[in-house]
Amino acid sequence: MYKDGDYDIVVIGAGHAGCEAALASARLGFSTCLFTINLDTIAQMSCNPAIGGLAKGHLVREIDALGGEMAKVTDRAGIQFRMLNMSKGPAVWSLRAQADRVLYRLSMRKVIESQENLDIKQDTVEKIIVDDRKVKGVLTSLGIFYGAGAVIVTTGTFLKGLIHIGLENFPAGRAGEFPSVGLSDSLRGLGLKIGRFKTCTPPRLDAKTIDFSKTEPQWGDEPPQPFSYSTEKITNPQLPCYLTYTNSETHKIIFDNLDRSSIYSGRVKGTGPRYCPSIEDKVVMFPERQRHQVFLEPEGLDTKEYYANGIFTSLPYDMQVSLIRTIPGLEEAEIMRPGYAIEYDFVYPTQLKHNLETKIIDGLFLAGQINGTSGYEEAAAQGLMAGINALLKLQGKEPLILGRHEAYIGVLIDDLITKGTSEPYRMFTSRAEYRLLLRHDNADLRLMDKGYEIGLLGKEVYQKFQEKKRLTDEELQRIKKTRIRFEGTDRDESLEQLLKRPEITYKFIEESSPSDKFLTPEIKKQIEIQVKYDGYIRRQMEMAERLKKIEEKKISEDFDYTSVKGLSKEVLSKLQEVRPANLGQASRIPGVTPAAISLLLVTIEKLKRQSGCKGAA
Amino acid sequence: MFHDDTIAAISTPFGEGGIGIVRLSGRDSIKIVEKIFTSPKNKSLKDLGSNRVIYGHIKDPLTGEEIDEVLVTVMRSPYTYTREDVVEINCHGGMVTLRKTLELVLKEGARLAEPGEFTKRAFINGRIDLSQAEAVLDLIRSKTDESRRIAIEQLQGGLSEKITALRDRLKELCAYLEAYIDFPEDDIEIASKEDMLESMKEIGTELQKLLKTYDEARFFREGLSTAIVGRPNVGKSSLLNALLRKDRAIVTELPGTTRDVIEEYLNIDGLPLRIMDTAGIRNVQDIAEKEGVKRSLQSIENADLVIAIFDGSEHLSDEDFEVMEKIKGKNAIIVMNKCDLPSVFDKDMFASCVLHHASCILQISATRGDGLEELKDRIFESCLKDWKEGRDGVLVTNLRHKIAIENALASLERAISGFLEDKPLEIIALELRDSLDRLGEIVGAVTTEDILENIFKNFCIGK
């Protein structure tokens, strides 16, 4: 066995999770090695060429506020930006961008390659080397050993990946790429419980063969708004997407050939995501629907490849061709790459702690799709947090755990490790009980202090943020104090009170009693939101505050749940599986009752005092 | 669930005596009681020293109605049973005012204590020592079982199904809103605003109906008021004692021994009876006795159920006929006592006199115990038949449930008005989720997963 080096941190897989993890580690001065099976597919967008959307856009903003990279790369690679849900309230606005797949990949690679303390190696890690339940390093397919203080596994869909197209199947990590076979067994050998999920992709079409005149173009916002707080302006040319629809003829082809679909013939065993069903599923489950949307999304500025969003399928190639050609605009379309289903191994995430470290192996962290999630944004968020927490662990510091009231990232990780997931987990705003606090617009207010404290957020951005915060607070104070008489009323009211009225916007304040400071549109919007939502925000803050109290009741890692008499078998087994870190987390495990929490609380207190007595004696 | 809020409960046993205590513990105890308490000299509880007692009245701050004359004790943290601020309200008006007082403090921000919760806090805050930890755990366990048993019984009346149905309708509305919020680019048709509003209003009406049954079902909590009437010395007190199996009322051979109305609680298969043993109805001269008779007549007037008792061993007297007169039109059971003695009057004649206001005549011997079980059956039937008919058996009888429904309704109403005022949808969703959670306290929580399930079932998501 050849030993090539010793690193503080080894990251396995250079997808969206791996890149964030490796960058976080290296930027904070830790020697880091990033392994990838293929150097040319660093930060590859495996599925749709888009970043963001509802709740996902929120995640990207949070990553940015903590000092991660995804937002900046998206801004550099973005070819269409749209703020979604503008007709609804600001808590559920969310940015979505179409990105140039190649630009995205190269832009991230450039960042990774220019990062100090970061080595990048093309090799397949086959084995995690562990001694006495503690990570020591990794062994690659070339038989090389790399020592590591902590290992972060971010392998996406590559673990025992198996691609299905029709009734054909073959091992692959993504279409055209090698899977990782040994590592999955290594993880299993360490005692981790592994499950199997599947996901589906649509065919990619050749623009030369598409008649766009039969479709509806959809342009992005003008001017495009960036994701990152540090991006001044989007400079790429912007492109439209095109909307077309399936029809009864399309549906008939699918119905008649279900036995040739890998999903419907029972060949794919893994569980797929309900929010991203194959076209086969859509047609079978909603037979009354006359048509389904198909979005033709550009894969990039310099390519003719279009992504047929909406037709996720695992039908055989010939059927894909026939069904595509029933769709207006696609009558003569040529498929450049067929759609496929992929099955892959994941690790049941209830085996992780809040810092994304496995409970059974010290120093082994998992992030991204390996934890049963789907989506680039969910992966990147975990990667960033795993990177940060691996470092904090090496330094012997307290982990960075974001609360459910602080960030979607907090909701994401807490959900995964507390509830597990029965399908690839995607973030929705409905998962956040404090949705009004977790807005797209205030990610900086929520998280930049933390990002700066850790050392990932640049000084310049942070100073800009502080200035914005100062101006916002001052203006909030001013409008509280300034009173004017609104026409048609008989007494003075503060500007703040007036702004609470549904028909009044900040523009009214600007016109009637403007600030003498220069306020950016962002600040004005912030003030409007904070004032208009005030009552609700406070209500949610109070709830969060109360929750914090029970989160403070810690449960030790080796707590013996069988010592709590009176718990039902079901509750006991759930508690033993999840081993919650505190009573708050325990109370969120499905099926754990308030009475069980009371029993737990009293028993913990009892044990604490007993050990206290011993200590004194 | 939370461990720092203010809890309240009636901390004296149900139905024993006229005096009872409503106890509060938690940081807002004093503030909450302050809102419903007035002292003659306008003294404030805030200024009261620890462990001091103050006299005054409990008033409903909304209506100004005076509930009870009370003594309030303020005990300040940390030298209290729970180490938190504790306030005890000594009520004097019996179960009805105790309940009313409890409901007021709950309305003002206290939370109904879980079984064993005062003791749990005492332990967690280090007030009780370790040796008692097991006892605390036992308490939580046993009371939990107890409350579950009660809950299950309460719910047998179909309340559970009713609430579940309403909860599921709310869940569907939530799913609609959430789908609309989370999948803006999917081609989904959600219900129109009018339809959703209509649906919310319907659910609101149903919740209001349920709340009404709580008042109507008060006898489940306070005991069905039952008057035992008859002329002196027919055996009213003997019957009461026989039902209670203890000597509570004074029984002598002298007519007119029972001079006051005696309240007793009796439980027949879970149906609580508040039995008033009344002074015998007769023409009297003695002033005290006169007052007793007056009260007897009053209690017949107010009673939900009357047990009219006659002496089968003696001839019917004018006073017996007066009793028959008084119980006309009441929900009454006719009992002929002393069936162990030879019967002296014509039963058929008697029956023809009384049967127009009672379905049958029971023969019992209060002293020997004959016919008592049959009497209990008859009491049970006569009270419950009304409930079985016409109300689909759905009845809110439990205060905890009532509060949950009230809270659910309040959130729902905020959602409705938000909708009408064109508030952003995520605000409406917030209120609806809140309403859903409240109903979940009765029939089990609805999780985000349940809502997502509903979305994926109803809408074709997947752009």
Which residues in chain B have Cβ-Cβ distances shorter than 8 Å to A601?
A: 3, 120, 124
The enclosing domain of B200 has a CATH number of 1.20.120.430
Residue B149 lies inside a defined structural domain of this protein: no
Q: Are B26 and B85 in contact (CB under 8 A)?
A: yes
B137, B427, B452 member nearest A566 (Cβ) = B137
Which residues in chain A have Cβ-Cβ distances shorter than 8 Å to B124?
A: 601-602, 605
Residue B70 lies inside a defined structural domain of this protein: yes
Which residues in chain A have Cβ-Cβ distances shorter than 8 Å to B452?
A: 274, 428, 430
Neighbouring residues of B155: CB distance < 8 A, sequence distance ≥ 6: none
CB contact under 8 A, B462 and A536: no
User: Which pLDDT band, with edges at 50, 70 and 90, does B250 fall under?
Assistant: very low
pLDDT of residue B297: 74
Dihedral pair phi/psi, residue A557, rounded to 5°:
-60, -30
CA A415 – CA B15 distance, rounded (Å): 47
Q: Which residue has the tokens 């309230």?
A: A89
Q: Are strands B7-10 and A492-494 parallel, antiparallel or unpaired?
A: unpaired
User: Which pLDDT band, with edges at 50, 70 and 90, does A174 fall under?
Assistant: confident
Query: Best of A404, A598, A599, A613 to disrupt the B interface by mutation (most B CBs within 10 Å)?
Result: A598
Considering B339, B366, B388, which residue would you say is the last residue of a domain? B388
The two tokens of residue B292 are 């007793």
pLDDT of residue B3: 65
pLDDT of residue B361: 81
The two tokens of residue B95 are 């179960």
Residue of higher predicted confidence among A286 and B296: A286
CA B356 – CA B72 distance, rounded (Å): 51
For the cut 60, the answer to whether the pLDDT of residue A285 exceeds it is yes
The total number of residues shown for chain A amounts to 617
Range of the domain at B345: 221-388
| Burial grade of B212 (CB within 10 A; 0-12, 13-18, 19 or more) | exposed
The two tokens of residue A473 are 């607070």
CA A357 – CA A442 distance, rounded (Å): 29
Considering B338, B367, B388, which residue would you say is the last residue of a domain? B388
B350 and B442 inside one domain = no
Dihedral pair phi/psi, residue A513, rounded to 5°:
-155, 75
The ipTM assigned to this model is: 0.89
Q: Is A545 left (phi over 0), alpha (psi -120 to 50) or beta?
A: alpha
For the cut 80, the answer to whether the pLDDT of residue B31 exceeds it is yes
B232 and B365 inside one domain = yes
Residue B140 lies inside a defined structural domain of this protein: no
Neighbours of B302 (CB within 10 A): 9
For the cut 80, the answer to whether the pLDDT of residue B92 exceeds it is yes
Whole-number Cα distances in Å, B241 to A66, A350, B225, B295, B423:
76, 62, 17, 20, 63
Which residues in chain A have Cβ-Cβ distances shorter than 8 Å to B426?
A: 88-89, 91-92, 429, 435-436
Torsional sign, CA A274, A275, A277, A282:
positive
B232 and B380 inside one domain = yes
B380 and B438 inside one domain = no
A275, A277, A430 member nearest B178 (Cβ) = A430
Query: In this predicted structure, which of B160-169, B200-209, B447-456 has the lowest mean pLDDT?
Result: B447-456
Angle between helices B159-182 and B399-420 (to 10 degrees): 30
The two tokens of residue A60 are 């990207």
The two tokens of residue A122 are 């093309």
Query: In this predicted structure, which of A270-284, B67-81, B146-160 has the lowest mean pLDDT?
Result: B146-160
Q: Are B85 and B25 in contact (CB under 8 A)?
A: yes
Neighbours of A332 (CB within 10 A): 12
B268 and B291 inside one domain = yes
Taking residues B413-418, what's their average pLDDT? 96
B228 and B212 inside one domain = no
Which residues in chain B have Cβ-Cβ distances shorter than 8 Å to A91?
A: 424, 426
pLDDT of residue B286: 65
CB contact under 8 A, A310 and B462: yes
Distance of CA B419 to the CA centre of its chain: 35
Tell which B residues from 413 to 452 touch A, by Cβ distance under 8 Å: 421-427, 429-430, 433, 447-449, 451-452
Task: Determine the residue of chain A that is closest to B139 in CA distance.
Answer: A599
pLDDT of residue B359: 62
pLDDT in tens, A459-510: 999 999 999 999 999 999 999 999 998 888 888 999 999 999 888 999 999 9
- pTM, two decimal places: 0.84
Q: Are B415 and B435 in contact (CB under 8 A)?
A: yes
B354 and B436 inside one domain = no
* Domain count of the fold of chain B: 3
Q: Which residue has the tokens 């028909």?
A: A503
CA B132 – CA B109 distance, rounded (Å): 30
CA-based nearest residue to B103, from B89, B117, B92, B118: B89
CB contact under 8 A, A602 and B3: no
User: Which pLDDT band, with edges at 50, 70 and 90, does B357 fall under?
Assistant: low
Task: Determine the residue of chain A that is closest to B175 in CA distance.
Answer: A430
For the cut 70, the answer to whether the pLDDT of residue A553 exceeds it is yes
| H/E element, B200 | helix B193-216
CB contact under 8 A, A312 and B425: no
pLDDT of residue B441: 84
pLDDT in tens, A218-255: 999 999 999 999 999 999 999 999 999 999 999 999 99
Nearest-Cα distance to chain A for B428, in Å, is 11
CB contact under 8 A, B430 and A536: yes
B92 and B34 inside one domain = yes
The enclosing domain of B39 has a CATH number of 3.30.1360.120
Query: In this predicted structure, which of A162-171, A319-328, A572-581, B371-380 has the lowest mean pLDDT?
Result: B371-380
B374 and B411 inside one domain = no
Distance of CA A471 to the CA centre of its chain: 31
Residue B150 lies inside a defined structural domain of this protein: no
Taking residues B292-315, what's their average pLDDT? 80
Distance of CA A432 to the CA centre of its chain: 14
Nearest-Cα distance to chain B for A595, in Å, is 7
Show the domains of chain A with their CATH numbers: 2-198+344-454 (3.50.50.60), 204-341 (2.40.30.260), 478-542 (1.10.10.1800), 552-616 (1.10.150.570)
